[in-house]
Amino acid sequence: MNIFKRTSALNMLLLLALQLMAQGPNGTGTYYQSADGKKGSALKTAMSKIIVDHETLNYGKLWDAYYDTDRREDGSVWDMYSSTTHFKFGQNQCGNYSDEGDCYNREHSMPKSWFNDASPMYSDLMHIVPTDGYVNGRRSNYPFGETNRPTYTSNDDFSKLGPSSVSGYSGTVFEPNDEYKGDFARIYFYMVTCYEDRISSWDSDMLSGNKYPAFTTWALNMLLRWAEEDPVSQKEIDRNNAVYKWQGNRNPYVDYPGLEQYVWGDKQDVAFNYDNYSTGITIIVPTKEISDVDVYTITGVKVRSNVSKDKATDGLDKGIYIVGDKKYVVK
């Protein structure tokens, strides 16, 4: 082999190695690579192009999908509107209901009347979640919000309906529990990103009627706050992975915690980097101190026990981990 061919071969191997090293979070590989370097509204548009071409599921198939996307560890339906339900898959699907706990149905967390029942939003699994039928009915198509004078509350005051207490809006709102406010915020960020070419015709007091910023001021400020106060959970990561298997697209606001700040918030002037993403969490460089520690994910799931501190994160997937009493970021 002559020098030119040898050099070319080495360059190709180096390029391949760099590509293999450049991987996004949660096993996404180069899925988000085309959004590299984008900022603000341009980043939102780039993400839209990545995620908008997905399979349109048959609405009836959502019942089957929920077993993969919304199943608790005990095997029951994961209901984000009620804290007292223990629905069984395939046995408690709604027909008729008269009270909380009777059955579960398919809730368009972004109400389908807002987009006139149009496809593919009508059956987009990312925003359609299983919830208690009665509580869902009480929610109707009211926007999400916060209320300090509820006219209705679900069991244990888990969800609420009443006049808005959010500055800038005085209409009736449905307030989900604090535990899931971030989940719904990131679902809404997904919807206005995925379908940014369609949302100008959608009708809601939360939406501004344009591609960007897409939300009205009161709604955007509230959703950004919800996302910050209720960060990405393992439940969301697992659901995002499961939805991807069903319809072939992902929610970037789950894969990249805090991405909304790059699109609408205080990081709009910072270029997005899909494989070297900064979450804003301080990176602590591990020391060579030798001691046995346990390793947890940022959501509290133990992944290693009694390992040497200097090797605690070796071989772990990209992500944020708690080692001892400190946070580490594996890139």
Quick: pLDDT tens for 180-216: 999 999 999 999 999 999 999 999 999 999 999 999 9
pLDDT > 80? residue 62:
yes
315/249 Cα distance (integer angstroms): 27
pLDDT of residue 16: 47
pLDDT of residue 314: 79
Range of 4-13, 15-24, 196-205 with top mean pLDDT: 196-205
Cross-strand partners of 130: 106
The whole model's pTM is what? 0.80
pLDDT of residue 174: 98
Kindly list the domain boundaries of the chain, sorted by start residue.
33-263, 292-330
Q: What value does the mean pLDDT take over residues 278-283?
A: 47
Under a CB-based contact definition with an 8 Å cutoff, are residues 182 and 227 in contact?
A: yes
- SS3 call for 259: helix
Q: Which two tokens stand for residue 193?
A: 């990103």
Quick: pLDDT tens for 239-261: 999 999 999 999 999 999 999 99
CA dist 130 to 135, 144, 207, 308, Å?
Answer: 11, 17, 24, 43
pLDDT of residue 315: 78
What count of Cα atoms within 13 Å lies in the side-chain half-sphere of residue 306? 0
Q: How many CB atoms lie within 10 A of CB 58?
A: 9
Under a CB-based contact definition with an 8 Å cutoff, are residues 155 and 178 in contact?
A: no
Please confirm whether the linkage preceding 111 is cis (ω < 30° from 0): no
SS3 sequence of 166-194:
CCCCCCEEEECCHHHHHHHHHHHHHHHHH
pLDDT of residue 298: 62
pLDDT > 60? residue 13:
no
Q: What value does the mean pLDDT take over residues 164-189?
A: 98
Least confident of 21-35, 121-135, 227-241: 21-35
Q: What value does the mean pLDDT take over residues 213-226?
A: 98
Quick: pLDDT tens for 134-153: 999 999 999 999 999 999 99
Range of 52-66, 280-294, 314-328 with top mean pLDDT: 52-66
255/275 Cα distance (integer angstroms): 11
pLDDT > 70? residue 323:
yes
